[in-house]
Amino acid sequence: MSKDNKNVILIVDDIEINRVILAETFRENYDILEAENGEEALKIINSDERVVAVLLDLLMPVMSGIDVLREMNKNGTINNIPVFIVTAANDDPMLMDAYNLGATDIISKPIMPDFIKCRINNVIELYRHRYDLESLLEEKVDKLNLINQSMIEALANIIEFRDGESGEHVKRISSLSKKLLVKLCKMYPEYYLPKSEIDKISNASILHDVGKIAIPDSILNKPGRLTKEEFEIMKSHSVKGCEILSHIPDLLDEDTYKYSYDICRHHHERWDGKGYPDGLAGDEISIWAQAVSIVDVYDALISPRVYKAPFPHDVAVKMIYNGECGTFNPKILEAFNEAIGKEV
């Protein structure tokens, strides 16, 4: 509901004299739009954001008032626009159906203009106040999310600098994870995630290597091959990362914490169960951890490291497909190829 422009009352009735009476009642304070049937009414409701209330007859040709309410329920407009049923039959069983479908109130005929104006004006004001509160809440949530995101990025950048990175690695992981999940959801409906969840996962992926802050520099930045003992210490970063996250849950919203924790612990698991730290296999590994896993491997291959030069894109993709970096979910591989692998 847009509080500045929604100053129209829509009157829906197939009898012209009824529309005229109601229009005259409200014309002083509102612009008036009229519709002769439910079909016309829905076109106006769905196209004119100024509508602040609907006065609705139930029995009309083409489309009834009950059908209008059903459609408003389907598209969500019933949540933002109060609907008043105008009727002379207060014992009509359809009135209960109307209430169940979200009608705000019943206006009985013959109408009493002053009384009806007060009732409807009060309800419109209540809806406007609710809109103001919802807008204020959304603004607060947006600010908190921005602060939250800044803290996540700051923590991740500290780790990146210790690892000889500039902070670009975590940004790429975030971007690539999002790109891969969007493609995966389109290709395989069983993995569908709403855009809002994909955005949260993308943000949470930034903390996938937070545990590296607990790994000694001598191991983290060693230019040569790690010894068996050193590799075991390096592998511990996934568990240590979860320990770190468990001490700062209040710094993250609930969903971001859930995704961050899972990704941090399981982004080195593999489809065949040969990953670490828990040896999970197949769909025991969450789809978001699987997504971050493959893009993390890809970015590590194409980026320079103290122990290697970067591989070209096509070579990196081939290595992943050939299983040289572990086994991945075949569906993830196909989505990865479509979203990232085919890029030049």
Which segments of the chain belong to CATH 1.10.3210.10?
163-341
Question: How far, in Å, CA of 125 to CA of 287, rounded?
Answer: 46
Nearest to 123 by CA among 75, 87, 83, 86: 83
Q: Is 212 helix (H, G, I), strand (E, B) or coil?
A: helix
Q: Which CATH superfamily groups domain 8-135? A: Response regulator (3.40.50.2300)
Strand partners, 51: 8
Which segments of the chain belong to CATH 3.40.50.2300?
8-135
Confirm whether 212 is a catalytic residue. yes
* pLDDT 10s digits, 277-326: 999 999 999 999 999 999 999 999 999 887 789 999 999 999 999 999 99
Nearest to 331 by CA among 197, 188, 201, 198: 188
Looking at the chain, the whole-number percentage of residues with pLDDT higher than 90 is 50
Is 0.85 topped by the overall pTM?
no
Q: Which of 212, 240, 258, 318 is catalytic?
A: 212
Structure confidence at residue 2 (pLDDT): 46
Q: Which of 61-70, 128-137, 158-167 has the highest mean pLDDT?
A: 61-70
Question: How far, in Å, CA of 76 to CA of 230, rounded?
Answer: 57
* pLDDT 10s digits, 76-95: 888 889 999 888 776 677 88
* pLDDT 10s digits, 253-270: 788 889 999 999 999 999
Task: Give the helix ranges, DSSP H, for the chain.
Answer: 16-26, 38-47, 65-75, 94-100, 113-162, 168-187, 195-204, 217-220, 228-235, 237-246, 254-266, 287-302, 313-321, 330-336
User: Alpha-carbon torsion 148, 132, 83, 41, what sign?
Assistant: negative
Q: Please, what is the Cα angle at 90 between 88 and 96, to 5 degrees?
A: 125
305 φ, ψ (degrees, to nearest 5): -130, 165
Question: How far, in Å, CA of 142 to CA of 314, rounded?
Answer: 39
Tokens 């996540």 label which residue? Answer: 152
State yes or no: pLDDT of 4 exceeds 90: no
Nearest to 209 by CA among 240, 253, 178: 240
CATH of segment(s) 163-341: 1.10.3210.10
User: Alpha-carbon torsion 283, 285, 287, 293, what sign?
Assistant: negative
